[in-house]
Each structure stands twice: as structure tokens, then as C-alpha cells.
Amino acid sequence: MSEQTTTFYEAIGGHDTIKLIVDTFYEGVATDEVLRPLYPEEDLGPAAHRFTMFLEQYWGGPTTYSEQRGHPRLRMRHAPFAVTPEARDRWLVHFREGLDRAKLSPELDAQFWAYVQHAADFMVNQAG
């Protein structure tokens, strides 16, 4: 009998959970006076779709992000935008809201949150 491994993506509930987190995040971004100017598109839908694909791929789901957009190159893609410590903090507030809405187990939530905090710190490119 073979052992079946579950990816983090599967363990958290797959696409529906990632979409819930991202949709909640962008609900906050839409009215955030610090973050909204960092999103040049009037419609946040395309950004939400890209973020959903990225998170799905990162956590072991479909590789659609790379198939459509290539390597993530996160710092390069965000370089044109002033990502200050304040913007990072606001970003984390809205992402935390998404994780809270997803109601993951404490262990899975902690793993996701640790990654998000690290990624947010990594994206800061201006002192503010």
C-alpha cells in the first residue's frame, strides 16, 4: 500500500480557501489609502487572480502561475512601487483578515502567517 502525501495546499482546502483569503485581502486593499495607490489597475480582479495563482502554486497547488507568467520574480515585479514599512504593515493587516476568515487550524495558520510575514518584509524597498 502506498502512502499518499497531502500538500499544504490540499490541507488548507485548496482553491476555495486561497480564493477566500485573497478576496478578503483585496476587499481591504480596495479602501486602504496607503495600499490602493500601489495597484494601478482600476479593477483589482486581475491582481487578485494573479495573487491567487501565485499562492496556489507556492503551497503545492496548480502551477498555472508559472505557466502563464514565468518565474515569480517578486522583488523585480514590485520594484516600480514604493513598498514602505507602512505599506508592508497595512498589507499584513489585510492578509491577516483573510487568514482569520479562512479559519485554518492553528498549525496551518501559523505556517501560512510565518511565510506571509517573511514575504512582506522581503518586499520592502523604501525606508518610507
What is the domain-level CATH number for residue 111?
1.10.490.10
- What local confidence, expressed as pLDDT, does residue 77 receive? 53
- What local confidence, expressed as pLDDT, does residue 48 receive? 95
pLDDT tens for 86-104 read 999 999 999 999 999 999 9
Residue 29 lies in a domain: yes
3-state secondary structure the chain: CCCCCCCHHHHHCHHHHHHHHHHHHHHHHHCCCCCHHHCCCCCCHHHHHHHHHHHHHHCCCCCHHHHHHCCCCHHHHHCCCCCCHHHHHHHHHHHHHHHHHHCCCHHHHHHHHHHHHHHHHHHCCCCC
- What local confidence, expressed as pLDDT, does residue 1 receive? 47
pLDDT tens for 22-43 read 999 999 999 999 999 888 888 9
pLDDT tens for 1-28 read 445 679 999 999 999 999 999 999 999 9
User: Average pLDDT of the chain?
Assistant: 88
Looking at per-residue confidence, does 75 or 114 come out higher? 114
Residue 1 lies in a domain: no
How many structural domains does the chain have? 1
Taking residues 118-125, what's their average pLDDT? 89
Taking residues 62-71, what's their average pLDDT? 77
Residue 56 lies in a domain: yes
Residue 80 has pLDDT above 70, yes or no: no
